Amino acid sequence: MAKVGVLLVNLGTPDDPGTSSVRRYLKQFLLDWRVIDVPWLFRQILVRGLIVPFRSFSSAKLYKELWTERGSPLKYYGFEVEKLLQDKLGDSTIVKLGMRYQNPSIESALLELRKANVDKIVVFPMFPQYASASTGSALQETMDIVSKWLTIPEIAFISSYHDQPKMIKVYAENAKKHDLAKYDHFLFSFHGIPQRQLTKSDCNNHCLKAEGCCDKLVDANKMCYSAQCYDTAYKIADEMGLSRDQYSISFQSRLGRDPWTEPFTPDMLKKLYADGHKSLLVFSPSFTSDCLETTIEIGFEYKEDFEAMGGEHLDLVESLNGNPMWVDAIEEMVKLHL
């Protein structure tokens, strides 16, 4: 039998919550041309001269709130999934976790697979919806590294799985751990990206040409990040038996003043409160692991903002983390490429 390597890729996290480590992480992350897609010189000035110096200290404070005795959730859940998947796939498959930014790096994980003399590598980015700044960056980094090898094994890339049934079921089951009867509305908050990245990725002259162009997934927008986010929300809502008036969809984590995917989550919270909704359960299905954007941004910051308006509850649905059914979903997707 052929020996197969599975590369799990997630975004990354600082090595520790100290300011210097956070500074290194932010610099590597934000200098990626797929993340901030502006001309090279402007990106260097913007990141090195403005964003990193001004955000490192405040971001480090947030990471200290996020950090646990086990370290960063993104990393320890990543290693947990790595071990669980390894146990399921057996000795003929080698599973390694690599982070796009910081450690363990994609390069170090690929080197371990190379040393193991694998015949094939399946690359699994831990981002359900395809975006150039996440999945695209992870796949390009992998290709850039392997392209320098003299012997290149067969490689399979999994680009998106926004509607994978078992993954959808985990999000729904995690929601049901809460008393659903106490919530008068449900919110799906996805990570936002600049609108220009949507239009740059569009090969069919479809993106942002009409109001609601992302509301339905069709052939022309099947690889659109926003359209895939909407489809994920619809699938989870269907799994939970929610009607369309029981939930809303929004995008968080906007950076800068350029137009980003809309509606923006803080604006949506204000609208929902104005419409009389005072108890919200929030999903964040663009993340497969709890992290700064879920635990802190939604679980603390948005919760405080909503309650300051007069809201009674804003609770966060936990992410997929190390859920065994999530590992089953990964196994199922990986085996399609074995």
User: Is 289 inside any structural domain?
Assistant: yes
User: Is 169 inside any structural domain?
Assistant: no
Residues 48 and 157 in one domain: yes
The structure's pTM equals 0.96
Residues 35 and 143 in one domain: yes
Residue 1 has a pLDDT of 67
Residues 147 and 24 in one domain: yes
Does the pLDDT value for residue 204 go beyond 90? no
Confidence of residue 207 (pLDDT cuts 50, 70, 90): confident
Question: What percent of the chain lies above the pLDDT cut of 90?
Answer: 93
Residues 102 and 208 in one domain: no
Residues 22 and 130 in one domain: yes
User: Is 170 inside any structural domain?
Assistant: no
User: Is 217 inside any structural domain?
Assistant: yes
Does the pLDDT value for residue 21 go beyond 90? yes
Place of tokens 């999934």: 81
Quote the mean pLDDT of the chain.
96
User: Is 168 inside any structural domain?
Assistant: no
Residues 155 and 183 in one domain: no
Host domain of residue 199: 178-316
Residue 338 has a pLDDT of 82
Q: How many domains are contained in the chain?
A: 2
User: Is 329 inside any structural domain?
Assistant: yes
pLDDT digits (tens, 9 = 90+) for 45-83: 999 999 999 999 999 999 999 999 999 999 999 999 999
Report the pLDDT averaged over residues 244-257.
Answer: 94
User: Is 171 inside any structural domain?
Assistant: no
CATH number for 306: 3.40.50.1400
Residue 257 has a pLDDT of 84
Report the pLDDT averaged over residues 312-323.
Answer: 97
User: Is 172 inside any structural domain?
Assistant: no
Residue 146 has a pLDDT of 98
pLDDT digits (tens, 9 = 90+) for 167-197: 999 999 999 999 999 999 999 999 999 999 9
Residues 217 and 291 in one domain: yes
Residue 193 has a pLDDT of 96
Residues 43 and 95 in one domain: yes
Cα–Cα distance, 198 to 137 (Å, whole number):
15
Residues 98 and 188 in one domain: no
Does the pLDDT value for residue 161 go beyond 90? yes
Residues 108 and 43 in one domain: yes
Q: What is the 3-state secondary structure (H, E, C) of 258-293?
A: CCECCCEHHHHHHHHHHCCCCEEEEECCCCCCCCHH
Residues 28 and 154 in one domain: yes
Confidence of residue 209 (pLDDT cuts 50, 70, 90): confident
Residues 227 and 101 in one domain: no
